[in-house]
Structures are given as C-alpha cells and as structure tokens.
Amino acid sequence: MTTGELLLTAWQSDVFVYAVAAAGVVAYAARMQWKLTLRALWLALAAAVFLLAFVSPIGVLARGYLFSAHMLQHLLLVLVIPPLVLSALRTGSKEAPNSTGAPGAAGTAGTAGAPGARRFVLPWLAGVSAMWLWHAPTLCDAASNSIGVQRLQTVSLLIMGCAFFWPIVGPRTARRLPPFGAMVYLFAACVACTLLGILVTFSPVEVCSIYAHPVDGLGAMPLLRDGWGLTAKADQEIGGLLMWVPGCFAYAGGMLAMFARYHREEAADELAAKEAA
C-alpha cells in the first residue's frame, strides 16, 4: 500500500458521527429559530472539521493504528471545534456596546481574584481534564477496546471543550472573563497541557497499548512502520509533541486574540468617553 492509496481508501462511514453532526446542526438551527445568518458558517465549519476528524484517514488511523492520529483528532475535538461552535452561537445583540454596562469597563486589567471564581474554575478543570483523563492508560485502553466508551469519549470531549471555551467565546458576552483574566486562564491551561505533552513525549510507558500492536485490517501497517518510519515509540512521541507544541500555539493564539480584544474594547471605551465629554 502506498501513501496515495491509503489516503484514497482509508475513509469510513459512521452513523454515530453523522448523527452527532446532524443533531448539532438541527439543534443550532432550532435555537436560531430556523433563520440563516452568516454566523452559521462557523457551525458549518465546525461540522466539517468534525466529519473530517472521523470519516477521513485521520479517523481511520486514530482507530487503532496511530496514537498521533488519535491525538490530532483529540485536539480537533477539544481545541478547534468548540470555539467554532461557540462563535456560531453568539447572537447579534452583543454588538451593542451598552450591553456590557458602563464605559471604563469592568474589563479593565487585572488577574483573577474578585468576582465569581466558580465561573471559570470548573470550565478550566473541564478543559484540562479533557486532556488528562482520556490519556490515562486505563481510560485510553478502555476507549480503544469498546466502541461505546469511544463514543462517550467523543461526546465528553466536545462537551468539556465547549465548557472550557465558554468563559472566553461564550455567547453571553457579559458572562465572559475580562480579556486579561482570559489570558491568565488560557496560559494556565497551556501549562497544564504542555506538562501532559512532555510526559507523553518522553514517557517510557505506552499511553495506549493498542497502538503498540495494532490489528491491521487495512494492511496499512507496513506502510506506517516502514514507509513512514513510525515505530510505536516514534508515533507516541509525535502524539505528545502535537499536544505540546501546536497545542500550545493554539492557546497562545487565543491569548493574542484576547489581547487584541482588550485593545479593541478599550479603544471603544476611550472613544465613548471622549464623545461623552
């Protein structure tokens, strides 16, 4: 088997995946009262990424072949799809500046502390445990041995990912963290995931034993092991590095977006203050 053949043939159909995607789209449309706005593009994008993660070779290889493909799928579910979904959910009314209250913005500066620690502690824990829990060897094996657990994993990752991003890009702007708080939030999550990435990369222990000895139904193993040079150890290393380096860049990108948001909001406030005067 060549790489080209693999990319052409390793596609799969999964009713469960279609069902989740369809349910998501229908639920969204119902919530938007069946009115199509430009914002729905975000949801379309999210659904497309979701399908790609399961139906394409990424999904096929993630199922028992490559830990790194599994990790890529995992990152898409936690770090890419949730912010897309939440961006789609935001309603237009947010744009009115007076909805956030007084200018001068409570959003100004400052690390954590004051209001409602509950608002971000649980979401943060959800986002971080989405990464950590499913990479405990026992749970990782359980998910690869049972299709039921695997589906539970998929859904829980999506939910935990959405919970994590809720305080940042959640639809209710007033309930979001102020930009600098959001930066601290993202940075702390980045540290937690980096640690996991480091452990997975350098760990002598197999995170998920199924990837060490795949059952090769496709006949792709010779290509993966010899053609691509992915030994089980190399595969796990790449998985760890995916979480560590690009994963971290995703959080870093989020932090920069928050910084930009601060400047945008602050500039609007300054303008408002000037006009008031």
Residue 195 half-sphere exposure toward CB, CA atoms < 13 A:
9
Number of residues that bind another protein (CB under 8 A): 47
Report the C-alpha gap between 220 and 63 in whole angstroms. 13
Report the C-alpha gap between 277 and 273 in whole angstroms. 6
Q: Is 88 or 126 the residue whose CB approaches another protein more closely?
A: 126
What is the contact mask toward another protein in residues 47 to 86, using x (rule: CB under 8 A)?
----------------------------------------
Q: Is 26 or 260 the residue whose CB approaches another protein more closely?
A: 260
Structure tokens at 188: 């702390």
Does residue 150 contact residue 198 with C-beta atoms inside 8 Å?
Answer: no
Residue from 218, 244, 250, 261 that binds another protein (CB under 8 A)?
244
Q: Is 14 or 187 the residue whose CB approaches another protein more closely?
A: 187
Q: How far is CA 180 from CA 50, 116, 117, 191, in A?
A: 30, 15, 15, 17
Structure tokens at 202: 């350098």
Vertex 101, ends 95 and 105: CA angle to 5°? 95
Rule CB under 8 A: say whether 195 interacts with another protein.
yes
Residue from 41, 191, 213, 219 that binds another protein (CB under 8 A)?
191
Residue from 54, 164, 180, 185 that binds another protein (CB under 8 A)?
180
Q: What is the CB neighbour count within 10 angstroms for residue 177?
A: 23
CB of 128 to another protein, least distance (A): 12
Rule CB under 8 A: say whether 183 interacts with another protein.
yes
Q: How far is CA 141 from CA 63, 111, 183, 210, 243, in A?
A: 12, 39, 34, 7, 19
* 20-49 positions binding another protein, by CB under 8 A: none
What is the contact mask toward another protein in residues 86 to 125, using x (rule: CB under 8 A)?
------------------x-x-xxxxxxx-----------
Q: Which stretch binds another protein (CB under 8 A): 15-23, 37-45, 209-217, 256-264?
A: 256-264
Does residue 210 contact residue 64 with C-beta atoms inside 8 Å?
Answer: yes
Q: How far is CA 243 from CA 31, 57, 65, 223, 229, in A?
A: 33, 19, 18, 24, 20
Residue 266's identity, in one-letter code, is E
Rule CB under 8 A: say whether 249 interacts with another protein.
yes
Rule CB under 8 A: say whether 222 interacts with another protein.
no
Rule CB under 8 A: say whether 273 interacts with another protein.
yes
Interface residues toward another protein, by CB under 8 A: 104, 106, 108-114, 180, 183, 187, 190-191, 194-195, 198-199, 201-205, 234, 237-238, 241, 244-245, 248-249, 251-252, 255-256, 259-260, 262-263, 266-267, 269-270, 273-274, 276-277
